[in-house]
Amino acid sequence: GVPVLLHIFFFRSVASPPSSNFLLLGPSGAGKTAFTALLEVKSTPASKKSQTTHTSQTSTLITVTLPPSVPTGSNRYRSINDPSLKEATRNPIRYRLKDTPGHGKLRQTQGIAELISMSSSKDLKTKIRGLLFMVDTAALVDEATLRDTASYLHDVLLVLQQRALGKGKSSTKRDAEIPVLIAGNKQDLFTALPAEEEEVLGDDDGKGVFSFKLLEQVGIKVDVVGGAVKGDAEEEIGSGVRRWEEWIGMCL
Ligand code: GDP
């Protein structure tokens, strides 16, 4: 009867709620606000588009729809003939992205605090699935910017390293790993360092504690991928945010 029909209608018209949370960190000026705004625009149907503005002083939580052409980790091993994987028929896959302010004074109270809270959460609604750390690759030629960026990244990775080593925990069961993407933004600018050279950020140059390889030994996977929020509409290689969306897709 009618209730059954209504039931079916309801399930067809409402997309499943997003279940994965990604946290976006990085120094101010890296392009986090621009990236968040771009993803929001791309996820909004044309009929509902309106100019949204975000400030860089507070955290913003947005719900994003993964472009249907981006593969996800959970369907990676399925046959390409599987009809449920066809772009047009795939149910929209959504995730949440939390953008945080990158200004020096707000890092500990907002960015790092958010990371600690999301990485210790057991609740699916708030638990972190992946971490994006955005870097302005064109500004890294400036020594002060490089230092500042590296120091923020080190603080972030330290939180993950301590978590991976299970500091202060008696539990023997390891928490789920948190993959890290270093999103090397502004590859459209001619002063930009190639994304592969972002290893400079992870290099411990004999003094520090970190190298990306060391992190891998404790089970933290760090990927460095270049892109440009500005060039997203263009087809040029290395531009756009597609490869970051693919990284997110692999986490889903
Ligand atoms: P946030 O402080 O990390 O949120 O950085 P914003 O999103 O405010 O970006 C800082 C500046 O970089 C803005 O003027 C952006 O327009 C600019 N920007 C962001 N992404 C790109 C990019 O891919 N290429 C270039 N050339 N500029 C960018």
CA-closest candidate to residue 248, choices 179, 187, 164: 179
Is the C-beta atom of 186 inside 6 A of ligand 1? Answer: yes
The domain 21-251 is classified under which CATH number: 3.40.605.10, 3.40.50.300, 3.30.70.1230, 3.40.50.720? 3.40.50.300
Cβ contact 225:195 at 8 Å: yes
ipTM, two decimals, is: 0.99
CA of 31 to the centre of ligand 1 (A): 4
Q: How far apart are CA 208 and CA 26, in angstroms?
A: 19
59 within ligand 1 shell (Cβ under 6 A): no
**Per-residue model confidence (pLDDT) at position 13:** 46
pLDDT of residue 7: 52
* Ligand 1 centroid – CA 35 distance (Å): 8
CA of 226 to the centre of ligand 1 (A): 14
Q: Where are the chain's structural domains?
A: 21-251
Q: Can you give the pLDDT at residue 96?
A: 96
Ligand 1 pocket check for 228: Cβ under 6 Å? yes
Q: In what order do the strands lie in the sheet with 60-65?
A: 60-65, 94-99, 20-25, 128-136, 180-185, 222-226
Average pLDDT, 10 consecutive residues per value, the chain (252 residues):
54 62 96 94 72 68 91 67 58 91 84 94 90 94 89 91 71 72 90 71 51 74 90 65 94 92
